[in-house]
Chain A
Amino acid sequence: GQNIDQPTEMTATEGAIVQINCTYQTSGFNGLFWYQQHAGEAPTFLSYNVLDGLEEKGRFSSFLSRSKGYSYLLLKELQMKDSASYLCAVAQGGKLIFGQGTELSVKP
Chain B
Amino acid sequence: DTEVTQTPKHLVMGMTNKKSLKCEQHMGHRAMYWYKQKAKKPPELMFVYSYEKLSINESVPSRFSPECPNSSLLNLHLHALQPEDSALYLCASSLTGLTEAFFGQGTRLTVV
Q: B105 near A94 (CB under 8 angstroms)? A: no
List of A residues within 8 angstroms of B55 by Cβ: 94
Binding site for B on A (CB under 8 A): 30-31, 33, 41-45, 48, 87, 91, 93-101
**Whole-angstrom distance from the CB of A27 to the nearest CB of chain B?**
14
Q: A94 near B43 (CB under 8 angstroms)? A: no
Q: Quick one: given A94-B31, A94-B48, A94-B50, are A45 and B41 in contact (CB under 8 Å)?
A: no
Q: Which residue of B lies closest to A34 (CB)?
A: B100
Q: Which residues of B from 29 to 60 have beta carbons under 8 Å from A?
A: 31, 33, 41-45, 48, 50, 55-56
Q: Which residue of A lies closest to B31 (CB)?
A: A94
Binding site for A on B (CB under 8 A): 31, 33, 41-45, 48, 50, 55-56, 90, 92, 97-106
List of A residues within 8 angstroms of B44 by Cβ: 98
Q: Which residue of A lies closest to B33 (CB)?
A: A96
Out of A45, A91, A94, name the residue touching B56 (CB < 8 Å): A94
Q: Which residue of A lies closest to B43 (CB)?
A: A98
Out of A31, A43, A99, A101, name the residue touching B103 (CB < 8 Å): A43
List of A residues within 8 angstroms of B41 by Cβ: 100-101
Pick the 7 closest A-B CB pairs, nearest first. Answer: A94-B97, A98-B42, A42-B103, A45-B100, A42-B105, A30-B98, A43-B103
A5 to B42, CA, bound (A): 12
> Contacts A44-B103, A94-B55 given; 10 further ones with Cβ under 8 A?
A30-B98, A33-B100, A41-B105, A48-B100, A94-B48, A94-B50, A94-B97, A95-B45, A95-B97, A96-B45
